[in-house]
Amino acid sequence: MIDGDVIVVTGASRGLGRAMAERFAREGARVVPMSRSADQLEALAADAPTEMHPVAADIREADDVRRVVDEAVDHFGRIDTVVNNAAVGLLSLTGELKSVEDVTPEEWDTVIETNLRGPFLLTKYALPHMRQRGRGNLINVTSGYGKHGQAEWAPYVSSKHGLEGLTDTVARECADTGINVNAIDPGGSVETGFWNTADKRSHLPPAERDRVASPDVMNDAMVLLAGQGPEGVSGESLTTSEWEERLG
Map out the domains of the chain as residue ranges.
6-247
- CA dist., res. 167 & res. 173, Å (int): 10
Average pLDDT over residues 14-29: 96
Q: DSSP 3-state assignment of 140? A: strand
204 pLDDT more than 60: no
- Specify the pLDDT at position 93: 82
- Return the minimum-mean-pLDDT range out of 12-21, 37-46, 101-110, 191-200: 191-200
Tell me which range, 71-80, 184-193, 208-217, is most confidently predicted by mean pLDDT.
71-80
Q: Which pTM does this prediction carry?
A: 0.92
Nearest to 89 by CA among 116, 63, 71: 116
Q: What amino acid is encoded at 155 in this protein? A: P
**Angle at the Cα of 229 from the Cα atoms of 122 and 56, rounded to 5 degrees:** 25
Asked about 156 being catalytic, the answer comes back as yes
Closest CA to 175 of 118, 225, 232: 232
Name the nearest CA neighbour of 2 among 18, 22, 26: 26
- What pLDDT is stored for residue 230 in this prediction? 97
The reported pLDDT for the residue numbered 203 is 58
Instruction: Count the neighbouring beta carbons within 10 Å of the beta carbon of residue 105.
Output: 7
Whether pLDDT at 103 is above 80:
yes
In 3D space, the residue among 134, 123, 119, 141 whose CA is nearest the CA of residue 243 turns out to be: 141
Catalytic member of 125, 156, 194, 243? 156
* Contact between residue 136 and residue 179 where contact means Cβ atoms under 8 Å apart: yes
Backbone angle region of 82, left / alpha / beta, with phi > 0 → left and psi within -120 to 50 → alpha:
beta
Mean pLDDT within 24-37: 97
pLDDT for the residue numbered 215: 82
Determine the Cα–Cα distance for residues 63 and 22; give it in Å rounded to an integer: 26
Q: How far is CA 152 from the centre of its chain?
A: 23
Q: What is the pLDDT of residue 182?
A: 98
Quote the mean pLDDT of the chain: 92
Topology of the domain comprising 6-247:
Rossmann fold (3.40.50)
